[in-house]
Structure 1
Amino acid sequence: MHALYRIFAVLALIVACVTAETILTAEKHVVSFNNKCKHGIPTLISQKGQVLSTGGSYTSNGPLIGAIAYLQTGSCGLNGDHCTTVETTLKNPTCPGCGSSTDLTLIPPHTFSTSTGFSYKNGCDGQGHTCNNQNCPYAFRHPMDTWVQVACQVDNVNLVITFC
Structure 2
Amino acid sequence: MMFKTVLVALLATVVGVQAERHVVHFDNRCGFGTPTLIQGSRVLSTGGDYVSNGPLRGAIAYLQTGKCGFNGDGCTLIETTLVNPTSPGAGSSSDISLIPPHAFSVTSGFGYYNGCDGAGADCNNANCPQAFRTPTDTWVQVQCQANDVNLAITFCL
| TM-score of the alignment, normalized to the shorter chain, above 0.5 | yes
Match of residue 94 from structure 2 = 102
Q: Where do 1:80-99 residues align within 5 Å?
A: 80-99=72-91
Match of residue 106 from structure 2 = 114
Among residues 142, 145, 149, which one is paired with 1:157 in the alignment? 149
Query: 1:12 & 1:73 partners in 2: Cα distance?
Result: 55
Among residues 24, 27, 34, which one is paired with 2:17 in the alignment? 24
Match of residue 38 from structure 2 = 45
Q: Where do 1:118-133 residues align within 5 Å?
A: 118-133=110-125
Among residues 98, 106, 129, which one is paired with 1:137 in the alignment? 129
Q: Which amino acid aligns with 2:97?
A: T
Query: 1:126 & 1:67 partners in 2: Cα distance?
Result: 21
TM-score, reference length from structure 1: 0.91
Farther-moved stretch of structure 1 (24-33 vs 13-22) = 13-22
Match of residue 57 from structure 2 = 65
SS of the residue 1:125 aligns to: coil
Among residues 2, 6, 10, which one is paired with 1:13 in the alignment? 6
Gaps of 5+ in 1: 1-6
Gaps of 5+ in 2: none
**Number of aligned pairs?**
156
How far the C-alpha of 1:22 sits from its partner, in A, is 1.4
How far the C-alpha of 1:16 sits from its partner, in A, is 3.6
| 4+ long deviations beyond 6 Å | none
Q: Which amino acid aligns with 1:40?
A: G
Tell which structure's C-alpha radius of gyration is larger: 1
Identity of aligned residues (%): 62
How far the C-alpha of 1:12 sits from its partner, in A, is 5.2
